[in-house]
Structure 1
Amino acid sequence: MQNNGLVYFFHQTKLSLEHLRRQTMVNVELTSTMQDEHEIANLLTRWGYARDSDDWETLSACFHDNATIHVSWMSGTAEEFIVRSRAMAATRKAGTHMKHVISGPWVQVNRDRAFSQCHANLYTRTIMDGQKFDLQSWMRFFDLLERRDGVWRIVKRTSVYDKDRIDPVDPRGIPKGFFTDMDLSAFPTSAKFLCYDLVRSGRQPASDLVSVYSEEEQALRTEGNAWITGRAEDL
């Protein structure tokens, strides 16, 4: 009976140690995932601050060397995005500015790859016909990210547009018929005022602008899921 008791004791001890080992592995994996998610969330927030404050070095560090970006006014490489952003900043009109407000992201991590979606609002103070307007755009960023040499950076960023609006800062100065004469027919409903402002400022909207609830948006989700599961080709 004593031997049976010892056998039972050692058996239970072995089970307890195995359970502890497995639980430790789970905790380590969970902690690692949480750390990855934190680093990615910080990266996405840092992107917004850098873009709005003309911090081009920090902005450049948010992207991998071969990264691409697809937003309302351009679709191309991240390097081109930064060059053109700097040029716009250099010719910024007095009294105009922009601010990106980015929500907490939903991040899916698988080893060294991640797929992130986050809500974002773009607030723009613009000037048309000598009058100041506040333009607000609701959008989401779909990001493919990768960790290389221990650092998470963006591989591909695509903006999906939900809706937008424009409001005069001082309605008293708006000429009669200003809004009724505004031709928005050439622009997608999800970003019509944003595109209108782009054209007024001498730029052309991107031809591949993605709108909410579109097939293109669904394709981005499919691409993101394929990216983190390793089924996507390298971009």
Structure 2
Amino acid sequence: MSTPDTDRLEIRALVENWALWRDAGDWDRFATVWHPRTGWMSATWFQVPASEFIAASRTGFENGVSILHFLGGHTADISGDRAVAQTKMTINQRADVDGVPVDVVCTGRFYDFLAVHERQWKIVRRQPIYEKDRLDAVDPAASLSLDPALLGRFPIGYRHLGYVQTKAGFTVREGLPGLTGAAVETLYREGDEWLAGSIAPGTPLR
């Protein structure tokens, strides 16, 4: 029989497995962290069912797209067979911008809606919260000039990440949740409703 403490340990392990298995390209095990019927991922570059996110991540991995994740502090609110977890994270991507190799680092949180499926916790919906980012040339001596109009399209929390991903050919969604603002307040409300028994985990961004 599970307890709040064992549930929290299992949820933390699930979140850590997401990052390790995705970044290592362990696609079969990566698929097991998601709810098989309703898993949904909203990233800057893709807002799709988990199965499509796995396929796109695998294609990118095999084509040399370098996106890595590092995790920090974690908390989980649990209500019966549902939970909402928040985990500090950074997204690290290496790419070329106008011929200059760069690293972009975005700091934020993974905000996860979870449910028990066949006696195991699974991610029903993941919505990152983007708090701040920065962009550096891999070679400190390199010169890089950014397009202010393109940079200004994206919120402050993922401005440089959105810039780099757009330059790499991705279609980056605007208006994703940041540290403050209407988008993150909506997300928090959806999390509270999920814990209270709502039919769906809010309205996943599409």
- TM norm structure 1: 0.79
What residue is the counterpart of 1:187 in the other structure? 154
Work out the CA distance in 1 between the residues paired with 2:179 and 2:148. Answer: 27
Runs of 4+ in structure 1 over 4 Å off? none
Structure 1 equivalent of residue 24 of structure 2 = 53
Q: What is residue 107 of structure 2 aligned with on the other side?
A: 138
| Alignment-derived partner of residue 234 in structure 1 | 200
Counterpart position of 2:170? 203
Q: Is the 8 A contact 1:54 1:89 kept in 2?
A: yes
User: How many pairs are equivalent?
Assistant: 200
SS across alignment from 1:103:
strand
| CA-CA distance at 1:60 after TM superposition | 0.8
Match of 2:187 among 190, 214, 220: 220
SS for the counterpart of 1:173 is coil
Rounded to whole Å, the distance in 1 between the matches of 2:168 and 2:23 is 18
Bigger radius of gyration, 1 or 2?
1
For the Cα contact (< 8 Å) 1:140–1:159, is it kept in 2?
A: yes
Compute the displacement of 1:89 (Å): 1.3
Displacement after TM superposition at 1:179 (Å): 3.7
Shift of 1:160: 1.0
Q: Give, in whole Å, the separation in 2 of the partners of 1:181 and 1:149.
A: 50
Conserved? CA contact 2:175–2:183, under 8 Å = no
1:76 CA displacement: 1.6
User: Is the alpha carbon distance of 1:124 and 1:43 closer, same or farther for their aligned partners in structure 2, counting shifts above 3 Å?
Assistant: same
- Choose between structure 1 and 2 for higher RCO, CA contacts under 8 A separated by at least 6 residues: 2
* 1:9-88 correspondence to structure 2 within 5 Å: 32-65=3-36, 66-88=38-60
In angstroms, what is the RMSD of aligned CA positions? Answer: 1.9
Residue 107, structure 1, aligned to residue 76, structure 2: yes
Residue 163 of structure 1: aligned partner: 132
Amino acid paired to 2:55:
V
Structure 2: runs of 5 or more not aligned: 202-206
Q: Is the Cα contact below 8 Å between 2:151 and 2:159 reproduced in 1? A: yes
Q: Deviations over 1:135-160 (max 9, x none)?
A: 11011111110011111000011011
**Per-residue deviation, 1:51:** 1.3
